[in-house]
Amino acid sequence: MTLKFLPFSILAAYISTRIVLAQASLPNNLVKPSTSGSLSSLKYTNVGGSGSYNQVINMTPGSFPSCTLPKSQTCQTKVKNVQGNLAPFDEEMTMVFRAPMKISGVAVYQPQGGGGNVNADNWGLVSSWVKGQTPNNLVWMNNKGGGKSGEWDVCGGSSQSYANGAWNDAVSSPNQETYTGELTGTNEVNIVTGESCNNTSSECDGFFRGTANHGWSGSKLYVVSFSMPPSLSPSNPSQPPAIWLLNSQITNSAQYGCNCRGVGSPGGCGELDILEVLNPGNANQGVSEMYSFKGATGSGNSGFFQRPTTDGEDMTLMVILDVKTDQIMIQKVTGWDFSGKKNVGRDEIDSYLGVQSLFVKFGNTGGGGIINVETSGSSASSRPASSAVESPAGVPIKNSESGSNASNVTSVVHPLPSPTVENTENSPNKASAATSVVPPPSAQASESATAIPTSTPRRCRSGGPSSSIIHSKRSAFSAHRRHASIRSQQF
């Protein structure tokens, strides 16, 4: 329609109708939009691409009481090439939670016909949990293997285990106890599907050991309601909570040891920090960051998600990972029916993806590229960063004075020399870099009685000779990454 020749009254009526229709198509559970400061929505675009990461294919366990094997045996990898929209976030993912936190509900939706069906009209509820109720195709796990479930070895540390009802220990079977929804102290848990990796007709990709389950692949929508009251960590009120997504291969091998994670550029098999409190000086602000073989980017100075610290006043976040549009969105909503909402239409997905957001455009493949941050609807070109601070891995790091990511609008991610290796004794799992490790009490007796053979075959769907070896390394920019005992990173 040619509008410039219409009478003013008709033109005004036309514009008014378009506005009404646009408003009518928006979801009815959106919070007030905010694209700077305290955010309502953050959208990553241009997420996927072509690249590779080092996939773990074997972990030799070693013999008690100390790991004397070379890294070439304790963490064997080969290069895995990936490509396409959302890659590598189209692979199986697990959602991880770190205390202090109260969680009241979780739901996961995927396109009908499977996560790879980009033309599905509806996304169906595939997994769910409500506090006090039995989970549906959802298992709560933690990294306490070697006792009641999972396994432990002197070189790899603890595998995944089935979490108990208080989320502070392991039990012998999945969802054995009723979950209170309270994650206290410094504990962490993660969720996976109810399907075991040991299902020979559908084994998990990469190496897995002990207790390991499939994650959610392809397109997926996560919804979670939670609060982060500091009172749940009374001995350490400054304990920083977080919610993030990891490639399931990371937890299936060793979340804090030998894994395909990587940092910066070149990155790894994928991590999305949804809401992570990084700086004690801004303990009520949670930032978002993304890592893959393309490099790293995030919300930076442009915005943060307000940490919900009041007990009983939950925040509800939805995270859409959409293969069709190559986008990831984190959106605050006013609430969610975790047990009653069985489907989300494709038109609803598109409506959420179309709301006013802070846009973060991921850079080019091949080791980084330009990263642009711009507000929805803005036609402004990329602006230079106000300051640029980079870690040894080339990732924008937290400015220790201002407590904000230095790269607030545009930064170039590029590889620099790897950081030095730190002793992993302080990591949650005693990983392979440690020279002496004490096993869990229930495993210690059997370990001392019978040494684990160094050549024990381990299960891996894509096994074979490794074309590269990655060593367990700690990140040198600990001020930027997770808590004082930050995860062991792979390079």
* DSSP string for residues in 65-120: T---S-HHHHSEEEEEEEEETTTTTTS-EEEEEESSEEEEEEEEEEETT-TT-TT-
Calculate the CA dihedral of residues 483, 358, 403, 187 and round it to 10 degrees: -20
Q: Are 215 and 94 in contact (CB under 8 A)?
A: yes
Q: Are 261 and 252 in contact (CB under 8 A)?
A: no
Q: Is the peptide bond before 384 cis (omega within 30 degrees of 0)?
A: no
Dihedrals phi, psi of 195, to nearest 5 degrees: -95, 125
Q: Give the span between the Cα atoms of 64 and 356, in whole angstroms.
A: 56
Radius of gyration over every alpha carbon of the chain, rounded to an integer in angstroms: 23
The confidence score (pLDDT) of residue 368 equals: 38
Dihedrals phi, psi of 330, to nearest 5 degrees: -110, 120
CB atoms within 10 A of CB 346: 17
DSSP characters for 270-299? -EEEEEE---GGGTTEEEEEEEETTEEEE-
Name the 3-class secondary structure at 273. strand
Q: Are 352 and 318 in contact (CB under 8 A)?
A: yes
Pairing of β 315-322 and β 303-306: unpaired
Q: Give the span between the Cα atoms of 311 and 303, in whole angstroms.
A: 24
| Single pTM value for the model | 0.77
Q: Give the span between the Cα atoms of 143 and 157, in whole angstroms.
A: 9
Burial level of 248, CB count in 10 A (0-12/13-18/19+)? buried
The confidence score (pLDDT) of residue 263 equals: 58
**114-144 pLDDT, tens digit each:** 999 999 999 999 999 999 999 999 999 999 9
Give the pair of three-digit tokens for residue 394. Answer: 């080339």
Q: Give the span between the Cα atoms of 178 and 189, in whole angstroms.
A: 15
| Amino acid at residue number 317 | L
**Would you give the end-to-end CA distance of the chain in angstroms?**
56
Dihedrals phi, psi of 145, to nearest 5 degrees: -65, 155
The confidence score (pLDDT) of residue 11 equals: 55
Dihedrals phi, psi of 444, to nearest 5 degrees: -65, -40
Q: Are 357 and 41 in contact (CB under 8 A)?
A: yes
| Amino acid at residue number 131 | K
Q: Are 192 and 141 in contact (CB under 8 A)?
A: yes
Name the 3-class secondary structure at 54. strand
CB atoms within 10 A of CB 350: 13
Q: Give the span between the Cα atoms of 263 and 174, in whole angstroms.
A: 32
Q: Which of the residues in the chain have pLDDT under 70?
A: 1-25, 262-267, 364-491
Nearest CA-CA partner of 284 in 299, 304, 303: 304
Nearest CA-CA partner of 129 in 233, 240, 246, 226: 226
